[in-house]
Structure 1
Amino acid sequence: MNRMIKVVVVDDERYAREELTYLLEQHTGIDVVGEADSGESAIMKAIQLQPDVLFLDVEMPKLNGMEAAKALMELKKVPLIVFATAYPQFAAEAFRINAVDYLLKPYDEEQVKQTIIRIQDKLLPKENLETISRLGKLAIEMDGEIEYIPIRDIFYMYRDEKVTKVITAKQEYDLRTSLKELESKLTPLSFFRIHKGYIVNLLHVKKLTPWFNGAYQLELEGRSEKLSVSRNYVRDLRQQLEV
C-alpha cells in the first residue's frame, strides 16, 4: 500500500497520547501527523492538517470528545472518528455519531490492529486491494530456489514450533518468517487472524459454526479440516466477511 493514512491523536493526558501514538506507528501505512490536548485544538488540527482519522478521547475539559466530533462533522473534509477512552458507557452515543470504532483504555495491541483494519477498509480503494490479492505472490525459498505462490492459492497459515506452515490446495510449505510478520503484510489484503497461531484467507471461507464458550469452527472451501476461531476474533471476523 503506497497510500499513507494520516492520523491525529487527541487526549488531554500526554502519556495517553504517547502510548497510542506509539501503538499506531507500529503499523505500516499509518502516519501520525499531529497531536492535540483538547477538543478545541482537535478541531484546529483537523482544519490545518486535513487528517484522514482522529483518535479522540471523550472526557476532556471544556469541549469534550463527543462535542468535538459533532463540530468536526461540519468541516468540508470530515475525518473518520475513533473514540479512545476509559469509559465504556459512551459507546452507544459514539456509534450514533458514526464512529469507526471505540477503543477502551488501557489500550490492547490486538484491538488497535483491528481498528486499523476497519479504517483501511473504509479508506483504501478495494479495487486496488483485490488486484494485489489476485496478482501478488508470496516468495518461498526451497532448496536454493525461490518459488512464488499466488496469494489467492493460499488457504491458511499456522505456526508449528519455529516454522510457519503455508497451506495451499496442492502443497504445504515451510517458512522461517514469523506469523506476525506475514500478518502485517497480508492482513490489508484478504487475510485475517482467527487464532493466536492461525491466519486464514477470507476468499476461501465457506462456513462458521458455533462451537463452545463463544468460539467458532471455520470451514474453508475445498478443505476438510475445521479451524478454531477464538471468541476474541469472532466479531471482527464476521464484520470482515459479511456485507
Structure 2
Amino acid sequence: MGKQIEALIIDDERYSREELRHLLEQHESILVTGEADSGENGLARMIELAPDVIFVDIEMPKMNGMELVHLAKKMKKVPLIVFATAYPNFAAEAFRFEAVDYLLKPFDEEQLKETVMRIEQRLSDHEAEAGATSGKLAVEGKKEIVYLPPNEIIYISREEGQTNIVTKDQVFQSNSPLKELEQRLKGYPFFRIHKSYLVNLAYVKKLIPWFNGAYNIELHGRKEQLSVSRNYVKELRSRLEL
C-alpha cells in the first residue's frame, strides 16, 4: 500500500495510549493521527479524522468500547476495529463486530506486528473489491432472478448437481457450476478450499485440524463447518495469515 494507514487510539488510560502509540510508530505503514481519552471524545475524533483503523479500549467510563464501536459501524466511513484491552473475557463479543484483532495489555510487540499485517491485508482486500466490478451475482431461480452483492455471500457449495449460494440468513440454489461462479467472482476474496466449496475469506473465523493434513473451517455467521482439502491448506493459510 502506498498511503500510510491512519490510526486513532481511544483509551482512558494515558500510559496505555502512549505505549501503543510508541509501538505503532515502529511500523512505517501506520500513521497515528490522533488519540482520545474517552468513548465520547473518541466518537468526536472519528468524525473529525475519519481514520482507517481505531485501536479501542473496552472498559471506559460512560461510553465503553463496545458502545463506541456500535456507533462507528453506522458511520459513512467505517474504520477497521482493533480492541486493545486488559480483559480477555470480551473476545467473543468483540469478534461479532468483525474486529481485525483483540490485543491484550501489556502489549506484545510480535502480536502487534501480526495485527498490523492483518490491517494491511484487510485494507488491501477492500481496495481490490472497490476496484472490481460493482455488479451483483445473478442467481436465476424458477420464478425470479435474485441479485446478490458478493460481500454478502459466505460460501458456495456444489452437491448432487446443485449449487448452493449461502448467505447469513438464506441459501439460494443455482444451476451454474462452481467453476463458473468462481470465474464470475474474480476480484473478490473467494478461495477454493475443496472441489465442492468456494469460501469468502472475509468470513473465515477458525481453521481446525482434522486428520491427515486436512482441516475443517469455521465461518462467521454459519454454524456448520466445511472441509478443507489438504491440497489447498498451504495456499489458504498464506492468503489468511500473510
- TM-score, normalised to structure 2, is 0.53
Tell me the CA shift for residue 83 of structure 1.
0.2
Instruction: Name the amino acid aligned to 2:85.
Output: T
Map residues 101-120 of structure 1 onto 2, 5 A cutoff: 101-120=101-120
Residues 83 and 99, structure 2, Cα contact 8 Å, conserved in 1: yes
Instruction: Name 1:238's counterpart in structure 2.
Output: 237
The 1:46–1:127 alpha-carbon spacing in structure 2 relative to 1, beyond 3 Å, is: closer
How many aligned residue pairs are there?
A: 137
Per the alignment, residue 26 of structure 1 pairs with: 26
Amino acid at match of 1:238: R
**Residue 70 of structure 1: aligned partner:** 70
Match for 2:237: what amino acid? R
The answer as to whether partners of 2:54 and 2:81 remain within 8 angstroms in 1 is yes
Deviation at 1:124, TM superposition (A): 2.4
CA-to-aligned-CA distance 1:107-157 (integer Å, 9 cap, x gap): 0000000000000001125999xxxxxxxxxxxxxxxxxxxxxxxxxxxxx
Match of 2:48 in 1: 48
Q: State the 1:104 CA deviation.
A: 0.3
CA-atom RMSD, angstroms?
2.5
CA distance change for structure 1 residues 43 and 109 in 2, over 3 Å: closer, same or farther? same
Say if 1:239 and 1:94 are closer, same or farther in 2 by CA, change over 3 A: farther
Structure 1 unaligned spans of 5+: 129-209, 211-215, 217-236
After superposition, the C-alpha distances for 1:149-174 in whole angstroms (9 at most, x for unaligned) are xxxxxxxxxxxxxxxxxxxxxxxxxx
Q: Hey, what does 1:4 align to over in structure 2?
A: 4
SS in structure 1 of the partner of residue 83 of structure 2: strand
For the pair 1:14 / 2:11, whether they are aligned, the reply is: no
TM-score by length of 1: 0.53
Q: Cα offset for 1:69?
A: 0.4
Residues 3, 63 of structure 1: alpha-carbon distance in 2 compared, 3 angstrom cutoff: same
Residues 15-65 of structure 1 show CA distances to partners (whole Å, capped at 9, x for unaligned) of 100000000010011000000011111111110001000000000000000
After TM superposition, which residue ranges in structure 1, 4 or more long, deviate above 6 angstroms? none
Q: Distance in 2 between matches of 1:50 and 1:127?
A: 17
Give the letter aligned to residue 73 of structure 1: K
What one-letter code is carried by the residue in structure 1 that aligns with 2:65? G
In structure 2, the CA distance between the partners of 1:3 and 1:66, relative to structure 1 (3 Å rule), is: same
Q: 1:92 to 1:35 in 2, by over 3 A?
A: same
What is residue 98 of structure 1 aligned with on the other side? 98
Partner of 2:232: none
Superposition deviation, residue 239 in structure 1: 6.7
Sequence identity of aligned pairs in percent?
61
